[in-house]
Amino acid sequence: MPKGTGWRISLIFIFVLMSLLYLTPTLAARLPSWWSGLLPKDKIHLGLDLQGGTHLVLEVDTQKAVEGSLDLVATDLEDTLNSKNLRFKRISRTGSDKVSLVLYEKGTAEAVQKLLKDKYPGYELSPPVDEGGFVALNLRVGDQDAQDRKTKAVAQALETIRNRIDQFGVSEPVIQREGIDHIVVQLPGIKDPQRAIDLIGKTARLDFKLVREDIPPTSATIPEDAEVLKEKTVDQATGAVSEVPFVVQKRSIITGDLLTDAQVRIDSQFNQPYVAIEFNSLGAKLFDQVTAANVGKRFAIVLDNNVYSAPVIRERISGGSAQISGNFTEKTAADLAIVLRAGALPAPVKIIQNVTVGPSLGQDSINKGLMAGMIGVILVIVFMAIYYRLCGIVANLGMVLNVLYLMGSLAALGATLTLPGIAAIVLLIGMSVDANVIIFERIREELKLGKSPKAALDAGYDKAFLTIMDSHITTLITAAVLFQFGTGPVKGFAVSLSLGVIINLFTALIGTKVTFDLFLAKGTAKKLSI
């Protein structure tokens, strides 16, 4: 055996065994009972186009995020001015880009102006103007600050949606930003797409607001600091939906930002599910203070401007725990707990594209992809065997190793195989043969110069080395660019192509070479079948 052949043969067989080992969970319908411990269990996941699922394109209403931040500024200013005993008539957001302050006197306006400049240096402060005997100030958000808030809103929405889907339990989802304010979500193999859509699109802003029982919901005049919200109830027997209106304070006493956990529980008395929530230390302190100050009053638990329940505060509630009761099923309670744990979206999202790929279409794609691959393999095998004779059969062996190693690598990485990924595998078959064609043509040139088979073989591989390396490196760079800037299916193509290029270098320069070395080991061969 030629020097250095042993370790190369060992490496080839080790890779074959590892590939078969990692492919077993994918190929086997059921793993044996002894298959446990350190043995691999991950299989090649199928993408949306192969197993069916849901493809969504969401648009984030980034302007609402800016308006939401201005609402927080208005609330913060109310607390700040009250703490400094600076009297004001009204503080509210007006329009989509500014907060208006109406003050009683000019002296207060001067103090407030200084405070605003120190507290919000990035905002534009308008000069004070007279407004019916009062002094009005406008605090406008700057263009750069507004843009930063919009950018952060999309990033935050992306993370929130990812957290919700992770808890929903979808295998191998694709969640990524597209353009300025769009998010692409792909959910392969999902059986209940509407539930997933509802879960993703729910803003999930949780607020606790005091109920104004002194104002009837049918009143024609609702104060500026109050609003009418409704509680929807569904009759389990008839399915009829009824609405109960409540007048509540606009300003929230506690928000969902202060939650640390939300879990589904079952009421032992009525056997109905509810959502148990836990506040952080600040939330627990506020909840304790609010319930202590409002015993005997009602407070509404509001999610996305819908009242879920409006219980009476019977006593002071300490400990930072509360519960959200309502007309829940176990599924709706579980979904509510998921969105509360994942956090509220910073702005509403709108589904602008919803495409559902059925499993039958996915199976049809698999069948067509496999058929294309098989036809490609057969044609290449026949061509190589006819044109390059026994050397062509060696090249075909390298091609088989290529495909085996690639599928084993995809299984080991737990990668997702898409239809473009299958296309990359078919392309790899062509690349595998192409490398051998370059080598064989070099060998033919050396044989024409009168060299022996062994010398021609070594010279052919040496002279083809740089050409093969150059072509594979440029292909690898292209695949890296596709992976970096491409979306779902394109990334699947790039992953398969990248792995294939690296594996092809190994099989073309080592796998086939060691086969020839074994045949020519004795040095008695007078001719190569090429």
| Residue-wise pLDDT tens digits, 427-446 | 888 888 888 888 888 888 88
How many structural domains compose the chain? 3
Can you give the residue range of the structural domain that contains 471?
5-32+44-51+358-519
Q: How far apart are CA 326 and CA 305, in angstroms?
A: 15
The single residue listed with the structure tokens 């792909």 is 186
Domain co-membership, 227 together with 337: yes
Q: Pick from 355, 375, 390: which residue ends a domain?
A: 355
* Residue percentage of the chain with pLDDT more than 70: 95
How far apart (Å, rounded) are the C-alpha atoms in residues 239 and 482? 51
Q: Are 301 and 375 in a shared domain?
A: no
Can you tell me the distance from the alpha carbon of 200 to that of 238, in angstroms, rounded to the nearest whole number?
29
Instruction: Identify the CATH number of the domain in which residue 14 sits.
Output: 1.20.1640.10
Q: Indicate the pLDDT class of residue 362, thresholds 50, 70 and 90.
A: low
User: Domain for residue 488, yes or no?
Assistant: yes
Of 205-214, 296-305, 515-524, the range with the lowest mean pLDDT is 515-524
Among the candidates 308, 323, 355, a domain finishes at 355
Residue 248 pLDDT > 90, yes or no?
yes
Dump pLDDT digits (tens) for 101-114.
999 888 888 888 88
Domain boundary among 112, 130, 146: 146
Is residue 377 classed exposed, middle or buried when 0-12, 13-18 and 19+ CB atoms within 10 A define those classes? middle
Phi, psi of 105 (to 5 degrees): -145, 160
pLDDT tens by residue, 37-56: 677 877 787 777 777 788 88
Residues 207 and 349 both lie in one domain: yes
Gap between the Cα atoms of 225 and 213, Å rounded: 14
At residue 246 the predicted structure's pLDDT band, cuts being 50, 70 and 90, is: very high
Cα(417)–Cα(405) distance, integer angstroms: 15
Residues 6+ apart with CB under 8 A from 42: 22, 25, 411, 412, 414
Strands 306-309 and 226-234: parallel
Which secondary-structure segment (H or E) carries 136?
strand 134-141
pLDDT of 1 over the 60 cut: no
Q: Are residues 350 and 362 in the same domain?
A: no
Does residue 298 sit in the same domain as residue 368?
no
Residue 104 lies in a domain: yes
Burial class (CB in 10 A: 0-12, 13-18, 19+), 240: exposed
The answer to whether residue 100 is domain-embedded is: yes
| Mean pLDDT of the residues in the chain | 84
Q: Which residue has the higher pLDDT, 172 or 117?
A: 117
* pLDDT value at 234 more than 90: no
Q: Are the C-beta atoms of 275 and 237 separated by less than 8 Å?
A: no
Q: Residue 247: what pLDDT?
A: 95
Residue 461 CB coordination number (10 Å) = 19
pLDDT, position 347: 82
CATH number at residue 263: 3.30.1360.200
CATH number of the domain that 111 lies in?
3.30.70
Q: Is residue 526 part of a domain?
A: no
pLDDT digits (tens, 9 = 90+) for 197-207: 888 877 777 88
Write the CB contacts of 344 (distance below 8 Å, at least 6 apart in sequence): 160, 203, 204, 205, 206, 256, 257
Residue 171 is predicted with a pLDDT of: 66
My answer on whether 333 and 220 are in the same domain is: yes
Please give the structure tokens belonging to residue 120: 């919000």
Write out the two tokens for 226: 């109050």
86 φ/ψ sector (left φ>0, alpha ψ -120 to 50, else beta)? beta
Q: Are 184 and 190 in contact (CB under 8 A)?
A: no
Q: Report yes or no on 91 lying in a domain.
A: yes
Helix, strand or coil, per DSSP, at residue 252: coil
Same domain as 320, residue 413: no
Above 80 in pLDDT, residue 5?
A: no
Q: Is there a contact between 26 and 395 (Cβ–Cβ < 8 Å)?
A: no
How many CB atoms lie under 10 A from the CB of residue 125? 17
319 within some domain: yes
Instruction: Give CA angle at 283 (277, 287), nearest 5°.
Output: 85
Q: What pLDDT was estimated at residue 245? A: 93
- Domain identity same for 351 and 388: no
Amino acid present at 115: L
Spell out a b/e string for 402-439, using b for 16 or more CB atoms within 10 Å of the CB, else e.
bbbbbbbbbbbeebbbbbbbbbbbbbbbebbbebbbbb
Structural domain includes residue 384: yes
In the numeric block, the tokens 């979306």 are attached to 487
Rounded average pLDDT over 506-529: 76
Do 258 and 134 reside in the same domain of the chain?
no
Determine the pLDDT at residue 341.
84
Say if residue 440 is in the same domain as residue 330: no
The stretches of 414-487 forming alpha helices (DSSP H) are: 419-448, 453-485
pLDDT higher than 60, residue 157: yes
**Phi, psi at 311, each rounded to 5°:** -75, 160
* More confident position, 465 or 52: 465
Lookup result for tokens 């300003």: 251
Over residues 367-394, the pLDDT tens digits come to 777 787 788 788 888 888 888 888 888 8
Provide the pLDDT for residue 359.
Answer: 62
| 105 within a domain of the structure (yes/no) | yes
- Contact criterion met (CB below 8 Å) for 293 and 285: no
Strand partners of residue 186: 55, 174
> 160 CB contacts (<8 Å, ≥6 apart)?
342, 343, 344, 345, 346
Same domain, 244 and 278: yes
CB 49 within 8 A of CB 365: yes
Same domain, residue pair 378 and 497? yes
Cβ–Cβ under 8 Å, residues 297 and 313: yes
